Amino acid sequence: MLARAGAPVTLIGRPAHVDAIAASGLHLASALIDERVHVAASTDAAAARGARLVLVAVKGYATEEAGRALAPHLSEDAIVLSLQNGVENAARLRATTGREAFPAVVWVAASMSAPGVVRHAGRGDLVIGDPGWTLPAAEARRLTLEEIAGVFEAAGVRCAVSDEIEAELWAKLAANCAFNPVSALARARYGRIGSTPGGRRLLRDVVAEVLAVAAASGVAIGARDVLGAVLMLADSMPEATSSMAQDLARGRRTEIDDLNGFVERRASEMGVPTPINRTLAVLVKLLEETGS
């Protein structure tokens, strides 16, 4: 979407995607758009040299590796934005790149259905923010984030700047913990999960555990109706399947350790019971290890 709006975008990815994009552009397919976007692409992290804004969208387990690969090529004023699941990735990127790194909550259903092909199934909006608003340079960072949000908005991507980004991250974590493993284990789309009484009860129970861990961690969710937002996803993105389901179907490693596994680990530290998140994490790991 940024490239369609005329921004100078360079994609960095795996050879199959890069080769396809170099040959015929990035094929973007959705209900409203079906076109090929011509954009630069490379397999080398050095292609990020000179970029002011670097968007990181790798799986959580590859965050440090990506940060280390980018670090030698980033300009002093480069800003890194983590468009990833989980709540710890921006801090990891800040540590590995030595640059300002901010988290983004990504609400979108999409998949790479073939090399160089992105299929968009629902939503497509961002929430960005700075967990350190109270630090001395907070106002300058707010202005920077508002500028970044303006770039996305100009490209047709809704982007809000939040003063409570940690709460936003945990709300998204709750949604990921609910839908990702259930969709993967049941091989079900979001609409089917939300349409059955048992499925809705399971979503409620997962969300309740995540919110209990958030509260024990000192994260104030406030008046957010996290459960309502999670249940609404089943209605707003009924045809979506989770990235975890896609990974398991392809025999790839999942992000379970950064989602339900993270919740279970944090819960153990806090003395909060999370039997459902623990069970989902174990089941996904078992499937992941068998490659099916």
**For residues 83-104, b (16+ Cβ closer than 10 Å) or e, as one string?**
bbbbbebbebbbebbebbbbbb
Lowest mean pLDDT among 127-131, 133-137, 210-214: 133-137
What DSSP string describes 244-262? HHHHHHTT---SGGGTHHH
Checking if the pLDDT of 111 tops 90, the result is no
Checking if the pLDDT of 136 tops 70, the result is no
Confidence of residue 121 (pLDDT cuts 50, 70, 90): confident
Cβ atoms of 210 and 177 closer than 8 Å: yes
- Name the class of domain 166-290: mainly alpha
As a whole number, the mean pLDDT across the chain is 93
**Structure confidence at residue 132 (pLDDT):** 76
Express each pLDDT in 64-76 by its tens digit.
Answer: 999 999 999 999 9
Higher pLDDT, 151 or 139: 151
Checking if the pLDDT of 291 tops 80, the result is no
Cβ atoms of 52 and 76 closer than 8 Å: no
Report the predicted TM-score, pTM, of the whole model to 2 decimal places: 0.92
Sequence spans of domains, the chain? 10-162, 166-290
Checking if the pLDDT of 292 tops 70, the result is no
Q: What secondary structure, in 3-state letters, does 190-241 show?
A: HHHHHHCHHHHHHHHHHHHHHHHHHHHCCCCCCCCCHHHHHHHHHHHCCCCC
Lowest mean pLDDT among 87-96, 129-138, 157-166, 189-198: 129-138
- Report, as an integer, the average pLDDT of 22-41: 94
Q: What is the DSSP letter of 101?
A: E
Express each pLDDT in 228-274 by its tens digit.
Answer: 999 999 988 888 889 899 899 989 999 999 999 999 999 999 999 99
- Name the class of domain 10-162: alpha beta
